[in-house]
Structure 1
Amino acid sequence: MSAALLFFLPLVVLTLAICHLAARRSQSAGDFFSAGNRIGPWQNALALAGDYLSAAAFLGAAGLYFAAGYDSLVYAVGTLAGWPLLMLLLAGKLRQLGCFTVSDVLAQRFASRRLRALSATSSLLVTLFYLIVQMVGAGKLIELLFGLPYLAAVALVALLMVGYVAIGGMLATTWVQMIKAVLLLLCGAMLAWGVLAQFGFSAPALFDAATRLRGDAILLPGAALSDPVEVLSLGLGLTLGLLGLPHVLMRFLTVPDARAARRSAAIATLLVGGFFCLNILIGYGAIALLPAHPAFFDAGGKLLGGGNMAALHLAGLLGGAPLAGLVAAVAFATILAVVSGLTLAGAAAISHDLWAGLHSRTVSAAEKKAVSRYAALALGLLAVLLSTLFQQQNIAFVMGLAFAIAASANFPVLLLALYWRGLTEQGALACAASGILASGVLIVLGPAVWVAVLGFDRPLFPWASPALFAVPLAFAAGVLGSQRRALFRKVKPQ
């Protein structure tokens, strides 16, 4: 605990100082929501990596490796596959339009308040699911380190994240994410180095040790991925979900031009891919090394703090309290940086898209910023309440649900709006509404909510990820909704 505090306190003080400096430079709405379009490609790439490498990508991925082995690699490959598509399809296009939010992209084509409201609703839904992931990781981390009750731990995180967003806006969020990305990559490299050192810097020796303890099954898909439909649906959701995450898409609005947006996406792809490679060594290192140390397990044989704490326990094994404290502090900073980006995206959807976009009068920049601060507070409170329902779930798994919603609700209508001239307002409304309803209903009826949260014996929808069904439905609704008049046009009499 004392070692963790030595790293926790300086990081919190540093980020608060960054927020104060950023607040002095964020005078306009453009400064607050998009950092005045002054962020360079390398800076934005680091911020993108920091925004994306969340509690799920670090704590959750290592925990999933420890629990299921190969299954965690599927999540990594699926999400990484979306980055080249993001660079090719969306990065440059989004920057050329010069918007603040995803809803602005649709507003460029359709002056529809209904469509803006629907798009903002889908962005809020994705943001809330992703916030749950971060809150669960933060709550379990603080609960394990400092003995705070889970609810008090997530409330502390919510208080800090609301403060960061309300004070500093996008500029502060960018700086915090850049620093966090560097620290997270360094911690990942230290843990991977420490694991390899235990096996003579031989990766095959590491995997041999892991299979001796758990069998060859940890190198093969587990029971959760034995169904081809589940695997295909999960992969589709993870790949396309990245292209619908509001807090990631907002980052391309902070750079000076489209070329800088594409460059930042390319660099971020390399950074994220490198970290995922380190995660393989960390995850299998936890499998091979932790079981020999009963101090990391409770009387029932379960990992202290839950499976999401595997990386933290591995750090304690490899480097003692100092390394465990550093990893814990960086994981906490990781969560704060990501929730700040998420909260800003959600607050922008409320203040810029709903409050200002639906008003008949012109809303001033000061009023937008004030509404954003209240929205950040409301999102923080709601995320705390929802995270208590999912606190026993693996956060990498819950992240997959957030990606499925983003892939179904945001990506189809965004792609059609940018690339298909035949899209009409009715088609866009049908596309967005179908994606939101299909993904939301199927997730509630699936095992993640119907069984794990609501406590029923069997799910009404058998697959955890709905993307394979919801994404095609959204595209079909968009096309059919746009062609409705042509399909039902009456033939004029000769």
Structure 2
Amino acid sequence: MMTKNDTTRQVLTLLALFGVSAAAWSAGADLGQAQKQATNWTAIIMFAAFVVFTLFITKWAAAKTKSAADFYTAGGGITGFQNGLAIAGDYMSAASFLGISAAVMASGFDGLIYSIGFLVGWPVITFLMAERLRNLGKFTFADVAAFRFEQKPIRIFAASGTLVVVAFYLIAQMVGAGQLIKLLFGLEYYIAVIIVGALMMIYVLFGGMTATTWVQIIKACMLLGGASFMALSVLWHFGFSPEAMFASAVQIKTDLALKDGKIAEVAAAAGQSIMGPGNFVKDPISAISFGMALMFGTAGLPHILMRFFTVPSAKAARSSVMWATGWIGYFYLLTFIIGFGAITFVLTNPEFLDAKGALKGGGNMAAIHLANAVGGNVFLGFISAVAFATILAVVAGLTLSGASAVSHDIYATVIKQGKANSADELRISKITTICLGILAVTLGIVFEKQNIAFMVSLAFAIAASANFPVLFMSVLWKDCTTRGAVIGGFLGLISSVALTVVSPSVWEATLGNPKGSALFPYTSPALFSMTIGFVGIWLFSLMDKSARAAKDRDGFLAQQVRSETGIGASGASGH
């Protein structure tokens, strides 16, 4: 017998399917007037097929999502291998696929700092975090940080840190999605962003973590397969000789510099510059700060940390990290080849360039054009569907972590003081999902011109400065107190956001202030704001002589036993 809720879900699912079909049809009808891109029906059909398929997954998942535990963590029933693929799917975002390849195409070897930085954060999670998180947590990383601390202040901080990181991370995904759909369908950018926001809300509202996990697994397999084909096609063209590929890229960059009117010596230097540092990161402090953001930010990303609560045991959590690290490492090798392949296949082909010589669809579309160059329309359609799947899966994971921060940490624990029922918590979660969807669309429109890998690096800097120090110190330092964790955490959060806003990347590039007017000269604030966060936690914990501080210190042994052995952590949720 169908309930009222089941009927509502089915109606909404059908409405969503109709909306996607209508969007695709109207895009096709409008292409002649828009003149942004010739109609690529192969791409549009694959694109629509993926959306329809994932909506059916969402419908299936909706039937399994009965409680808050189902919504947030899929009831803890995901295996280590599945979770490893889902983590890889969550982590291999639009920034990784579209942004890194675009950065390598523009800056050469300097773009590799993204791949290295994103990857080396995983040993930190493997050896310091994964098992402890699974043993201590329930739904969010705040459960871990608040294990021995006063609940209210630490959860307010954790929710604030989560929401700020999610907002910055969402910007990158929405920008990538908007540019991709604009290129494929000929729609206006803002309409493309609205479509993505609407689909993401449907996935999360009805499917929760179960739907999000399966969309991430399917997308990870598609992305790894598609990127492998692209990279092998590029290498095959050069007889599987990376040296020949690099030499060709240097020559093309030199020729382009000559075409721009540079003298031979300057042009040759410009060509050679893609094989060394200096094109993207200009000085050692920026390099260190940027690397720290990417490395330690990984261990503070709320949507990644949340995935450790979806597995049934600490052993499965550790296993999932090992699987994820392998898939992610392999993928980043591919993006590097794709970036250099874009130099040799895309920059020399007028079909992919506009009248000014810039990439059609914007700089982030290098990998999409390369797919067309090596595999024609059919492969372009596949890669476009994969890129869209990538964005939707990551946006859904981000939205879920933001919604859980508000409903579980703020509403259930702070406002209701742990007495909220599952239905109310779920309702607040869904309201938050809608609010985050609207916020994501708005920010995506405002930040249209930014490189998406760079926008993600700002989210990593904030996660490294706020979430990671609190998580690290609360789990591993006996003398850490509630006051120290909250004040230090907020100092890291506020300083990272403030320095980001007054850095050249936002102050000048996004807000339009004159060049050279930025108050903070470096691209990433992590070296400074992360230090402020750690020092704040250390200093204010040592200065804290309150009765609460004594209780916090006394609770360390119980926390340590639980985190190392898992004794006391029972059931699917970890408690």
Fold conserved between structures, TM > 0.5? yes
Partner of 1:470: 529
Within 5 Å, give how 1:104-253 maps onto structure 2: 104-214=143-253, 215-253=271-309
Q: Distance between the aligned counterparts of 1:94 and 1:145, measured in 2?
A: 41
Q: CA deviation at 1:165?
A: 0.4
Q: Distance between the aligned counterparts of 1:438 and 1:248, measured in 2?
A: 23
CA shift digits 1:265-305 (9 cap, x unpaired): 01110100000111111110111122221111011110001
2:446 is equivalent to residue 389 of structure 1: yes
Match of 1:259 among 315, 320, 335: 315
Q: CA deviation at 1:104?
A: 1.4
Partner of 2:119: 80
Q: Distance between the aligned counterparts of 2:381 and 2:76, measured in 1?
A: 36
Partner of 2:396: 340
Corresponding letter in the other structure for 1:462? P
Q: Distance between the aligned counterparts of 1:7 and 1:387, measured in 2?
A: 24
Q: Distance between the aligned counterparts of 2:289 and 2:137, measured in 1?
A: 33
Q: Distance between the aligned counterparts of 1:217 and 1:111, measured in 2?
A: 53
CA shift digits 1:235-260 (9 cap, x unpaired): 00000000000000000111111111
Residue pair 1:41, 1:261 contacting (<8 A) in 2 also: yes
SS of 2:414's equivalent? coil
Partner of 2:480: 423
State, as a whole percentage, how many aligned pairs show the same letter: 48
**CA RMSD across the alignment:** 1.2
Partner of 2:520: 461
Match of 1:329 among 385, 395, 401: 385
Q: Distance between the aligned counterparts of 1:141 and 1:401, measured in 2?
A: 22
Q: CA deviation at 1:390?
A: 1.5
Within 5 Å, give how 1:41-60 maps onto structure 2: 41-60=80-99
2:40 is equivalent to residue 40 of structure 1: no
Residue pair 2:488, 2:534 contacting (<8 A) in 1 also: yes
Residue pair 1:80, 1:273 contacting (<8 A) in 2 also: yes
Q: Distance between the aligned counterparts of 2:150 and 2:211, measured in 1?
A: 32
2:484 is equivalent to residue 484 of structure 1: no
Partner of 2:56: 17
Q: TM-score, normalised on structure 1? A: 0.97
Corresponding letter in the other structure for 1:227? D
Q: CA deviation at 1:225?
A: 1.0
Q: After superposing the two structures, state which structure 1 stretch, 28-37 or 460-469, moved more.
A: 28-37
Q: CA deviation at 1:486?
A: 5.7
Q: CA deviation at 1:98?
A: 3.4
Partner of 1:309: 365
Q: Distance between the aligned counterparts of 1:55 and 1:104, measured in 2?
A: 29
Query: CA 1:370–1:486 in structure 2 vs 1: closer, same or farther (change >3 Å)?
Result: closer
Residue pair 2:110, 2:279 contacting (<8 A) in 1 also: no
Corresponding letter in the other structure for 1:222? G
Partner of 1:408: 465
Q: Distance between the aligned counterparts of 2:124 and 2:177, measured in 1?
A: 30
Q: Distance between the aligned counterparts of 1:40 and 1:290, measured in 2?
A: 41
Residue pair 2:216, 2:393 contacting (<8 A) in 1 also: yes
Query: CA 1:360–1:29 in structure 2 vs 1: closer, same or farther (change >3 Å)?
Result: closer
Corresponding letter in the other structure for 2:384? A
SS of 1:321's equivalent? helix
Q: Distance between the aligned counterparts of 2:151 and 2:239, measured in 1?
A: 62
SS of 2:360's equivalent? coil
Partner of 1:66: 105
Partner of 1:378: 435
Q: Distance between the aligned counterparts of 2:121 and 2:402, measured in 1?
A: 22
Residue pair 2:46, 2:381 contacting (<8 A) in 1 also: yes
Corresponding letter in the other structure for 2:447? F
Q: Distance between the aligned counterparts of 2:544 and 2:212, measured in 1?
A: 45
Unmatched tracts of structure 1, length 5 or more: 488-494
Q: CA deviation at 1:110?
A: 1.4
Unmatched tracts of structure 2, length 5 or more: 1-39, 254-270, 547-575
Residue pair 1:70, 1:222 contacting (<8 A) in 2 also: no
CA shift digits 1:209-236 (9 cap, x unpaired): 1111122211111343121000000000
Q: Distance between the aligned counterparts of 2:436 and 2:505, measured in 1?
A: 22
Q: CA deviation at 1:101?
A: 0.5
Q: Distance between the aligned counterparts of 2:244 and 2:511, measured in 1?
A: 43
Q: CA deviation at 1:180?
A: 0.4
Q: TM-score, normalised on structure 2? A: 0.83
Residue pair 1:127, 1:343 contacting (<8 A) in 2 also: yes
Residue pair 2:151, 2:413 contacting (<8 A) in 1 also: no
Residue pair 2:450, 2:510 contacting (<8 A) in 1 also: no
Q: After superposing the two structures, state which structure 1 stretch, 336-345 or 205-214, moved more.
A: 205-214
CA shift digits 1:150-197 (9 cap, x unpaired): 111011000000110000111111111000000000000010111112
Q: CA deviation at 1:23?
A: 1.3
CA shift digits 1:345-381 (9 cap, x unpaired): 0010111111112223621111111111111110011
2:485 is equivalent to residue 446 of structure 1: no
Q: Distance between the aligned counterparts of 2:155 and 2:518, measured in 1?
A: 33
> Matched residue pairs, number?
487
Corresponding letter in the other structure for 1:313? H
